[in-house]
Amino acid sequence: MDAKNTSPILLTVVLFLGMTGLAQAETSARTLVGNYSNMVWSDGEDPHAVSGYEVRLYKNGTVITGDMGIAIGSPEPEHSELYDISFNEEDKKISFKVNYSRGIEIRKGLPPGGRDAKTILTFSGKLNPRQLKGEITQQEGYPPFKMVGKEKSILRKYE
């Protein structure tokens, strides 16, 4: 075959592969499941996140990812990536964990200058069309991972 005959075939193959690649890229794109929050903000000219949580959930095929913001009294919530995410599409049960820091912990028995105040939150509940409802447990981020608290939470979906 000469160059004149192979060019149209080569062009067709390249176009086909290009279109197939685009179709695969579109189906594997991350889509927003929703933004959920029960965050409470202070009033005034310089509002601070004083309590609550916000969660952003995304879906890529069957995989759920996201992040969580935790009110720590600062102008912006402390954000961390979710991990150990489990979601049952059939009954809408969802669970995940998040590690975050509330700042520096200073107390007797710690090195001078303190250490990062690590905390682990675990959410377990249900994902409904308008809300994320469940229980949040809080534990220390250092061994022996002592349980600090437990609370029921409803995070409402917003745009």
Within-domain flag for 4: no
73: CATH? 2.40.128
Q: How many domains does the chain have?
A: 1
What does residue 18 show for φ and ψ, rounded to 5 degrees? -65, -45
* CB burial of residue 102 (10 Å; 0-12, 13-18, 19+): middle
Within-domain flag for 104: yes
pLDDT of residue 75: 87
Mind listing the pLDDT tens digit of every residue in the chain (159 residues)? Answer: 555 555 555 445 444 545 444 444 445 688 999 999 999 999 988 899 999 999 999 999 889 999 999 998 888 898 999 999 999 999 999 999 999 887 777 888 888 888 877 999 999 999 999 999 999 999 998 889 999 999 999 999 997
Within-domain flag for 107: yes
- What is the rounded distance in angstroms from the CA atom of residue 92 to the CA atom of residue 82? 17
Q: Largest Cα–Cα distance in the chain?
A: 83
pTM: 0.76
Within-domain flag for 132: yes
Within-domain flag for 16: no
Within-domain flag for 143: yes
- Helices and strands (DSSP H and E) totals, the chain: 1, 11
Beta-carbon contacts of 22 under 8 Å, excluding residues fewer than 6 positions away, are none
- What is the rounded distance in angstroms from the CA atom of residue 103 to the CA atom of residue 40? 20
Helix (H, G, I), strand (E, B) or coil at 81: strand
pLDDT of residue 22: 45
Contact assessment for residue 116 and residue 99, using Cβ atoms and an 8 Å cutoff: no
Beta-carbon contacts of 121 under 8 Å, excluding residues fewer than 6 positions away, are 68, 70, 97, 98, 100, 136, 137, 138
Within-domain flag for 1: no
Residue-range definition of the domain harbouring residue 102? 31-158
Within-domain flag for 141: yes
pLDDT of residue 149: 94
